[in-house]
Amino acid sequence: MFTNPVRRVAVTAGLALAISATTGIALQSSAQAADTSKVSVVHGIPGQPVDVYVNGKKVLGDFKPATVAGPLDLASGSYDIALTKPGDDPGSPLLEDKSVDVPGGKNLSLVAHLDGSGKPALTAFVNDTSTLKAGMARLIVRHTAQAPAVDVRAGGKPVFTGLTNPKEAMADVPAGTVQADVTLAGTDTVVLGPKAVNLAAGTDTILYAIGSADDKSLALVAQTVDGLGGAPSGMPAGSGGENATGVTRAWYAVSGLGVLLLMTGALVLGRRRAARA
């Protein structure tokens, strides 16, 4: 007995529509994720707790110096970022930038710090979240202090030299614990450290030099961004896995659903053929 071609077309069309609909949902979710960034806030201005406002809305209260908060999920666009004394009106900020650009699909650190002349400033850094090789870590150093050019050493050996405010330097290095310090550029005069820094595999370890050399308030603040790979198998881990392959978990779920629907359709057709035989 032959199968009714109209019914076969109807079943196939239904399967196609179901797969298309679920795929559309997955692609929409992926697009929304790509349009949103993770934004951490670093307080590098000594001596003054602050409230942090984003487009007039308070997102952090009584934020202490030498600390890191977040990350916040922010859609791509331009933002008004204001810092006030705790409890003060955001219309009278200590520091404000009305056009902080947030690109989509990135990991950012927004740093409130002193510039080279000692004035408060806001600087946004894009964090490198590319996948790391197994057993490797990424060390990033950012000069956000009122201080002259510096060298950064690990284990007494210079790693980054001549770093100035507000520049950064980075390198992928073997994971482990190192003794880090900061010296005046080209000298052995230590101005920060030494500090034991744990460089965990599959992470960004970001060190910020903050404060003021004039006021003797220099300090090191550390931030960690994890999920960048480094598993023994070499397979990407965490959010880095999706970013590295370009395929999201939602896509795998949709693909599995599509296969299930196709198998179900084939089973129904097979039963109908057997019944008519």
Which range has the worst mean pLDDT, 108-112, 136-140, 196-200, 241-245? 241-245
181 belongs to a structural domain = yes
5-34 vs 249-276: helix crossing angle, rounded to 10: 170
For range 233-254, the mean pLDDT: 34
Q: How much of the chain exceeds pLDDT 70, in percent? A: 70
pLDDT per position as a tens digit, 8-35: 444 444 434 444 444 454 444 444 556 9
Domain that holds residue 258: 5-30+247-276
pLDDT score of 266? 43
Residues 106 and 155 in one domain: no
> Do 255 and 178 belong to one domain?
no
Mean per-residue pLDDT over the chain, rounded:
80
Are residue 188 and residue 228 in the same domain, yes or no?
yes
The answer on 103 and 45 residing in a single domain is: yes
The answer to whether residues 42 and 18 belong to one domain is: no
Looking at 126, 158, 173, which one is the last position of a domain?
A: 126
pLDDT computed for residue 33 by the predictor: 57
Q: Is the pLDDT of residue 2 over 90?
A: no
pLDDT > 90 fraction of the chain, expressed in percent and rounded: 69
Domain count, the chain: 3
Residue 242 lies in a domain: no
Query: In 3D, which of 221, 241, 19, 262 has the Cα closest to residue 112?
Result: 221
Residues 253 and 228 in one domain: no
Enter the tokens of residue 190. 């230590």
Which pLDDT belongs to residue 113?
98
Based on the domain organization, do 69 and 147 belong to the same domain?
Answer: no
- Helix %, strand %, coil % for the chain, to 5? 25, 45, 30
Does 52 share its domain with 108? yes
Each residue's pLDDT tens digit, 173-206: 999 999 999 999 999 999 999 999 999 999 999 9
Q: Please report, for residues 39, 80, 127, 252, the alpha-carbon distance to residue 73 in angstroms, rounded to integers and kept in the order given.
A: 6, 15, 15, 24
**End-of-domain residue from the set 73, 96, 126:** 126
Query: Residue 177's domain is classified under what CATH number?
Result: 2.60.40
Give Cα separations from 166 to 146, 170, 180, 206, 272 (angstroms): 10, 14, 19, 14, 72
Instruction: Express each pLDDT in 93-122 by its tens digit.
Output: 999 999 999 999 999 999 999 999 999 999
**Cα–Cα distance, 159 to 73 (Å, whole number):** 33
DSSP 72-123: EEEESEEEEEEEESTT--TTS-SEEEEEEEE-TT-EEEEEEEE-TTS-EEEE
Q: How confident is the model at residue 235, as a pLDDT?
A: 31
- Reading the block at residue 131, the tokens are 């996948």
Residue 241 lies in a domain: no
Which pLDDT score is estimated for 194?
93
243, pLDDT greater than 80 = no
Q: Supply the pLDDT for residue 229.
A: 79
Does residue 168 form part of some domain?
yes
Q: What is the pLDDT at residue 24?
A: 52
Phi, psi of 228 (to 5 degrees): -105, 20
In a domain, 96, yes or no: yes
Q: What would the pLDDT profile of 50-105 be if each residue is shown by its tens digit?
A: 999 999 999 999 999 999 999 999 999 999 999 999 999 999 999 999 999 999 99
| Alpha-carbon distance values, 152 to 166, 193, 218, 274 (Å) | 15, 10, 14, 77
Judge if 113 and 138 occupy the same domain.
no
